Amino acid sequence: MPALNRSGNVLDEVSDAIDHVNVLKGKVWDEESEFAATKDKQSFRQYNTACERVQAFYKEQHEKQTVAFNIKARVDFKSRKRARMGIWQAMEMLNTLVDDSDPDTDLSQIDHLLQTAEAIRRDGKPEWMQVTGLIHDLGKLLYFFDSDGQWDVVGDTFVVGCAFSDKNIYPETFSGNPDTYDAVYSTKYGIYEAYCGLDNVMISWGHDEYLYHVVKDQCNLPTEALAMIRYHSFYPWHREGAYMHLTNAKDALALEAVRAFNPYDLYSKCDEPVNAEDLRPYYENLIAKFFPPELDW
Is pLDDT above 50 for 275?
Answer: yes
pLDDT for 239 equals 94
Global pTM reads: 0.84
Q: Give the phi and the psi of residue 159 in degrees, each rounded to 5.
A: -85, 135
Reduce the secondary structure of 117-143 to three states and give it as a string: HHHHHHCCCCHHHHHHHHHCCHHHHHH
User: Three-class SS of residue 107?
Assistant: coil
Query: What was the pLDDT predicted at 268?
Result: 75
pLDDT category of residue 43 using cuts at 50, 70 and 90: very low
**Candidate from 23-32, 254-263, 275-284 with smallest mean pLDDT:** 23-32
d(CA 158, CA 94): 24
Taking the C-alpha atoms of residue 19 and residue 237, their distance in angstroms, rounded to an integer, is 16
> For 29, how many CA atoms within 13 A lie in the half-sphere containing its CB?
17
pLDDT at 197 over 50: yes
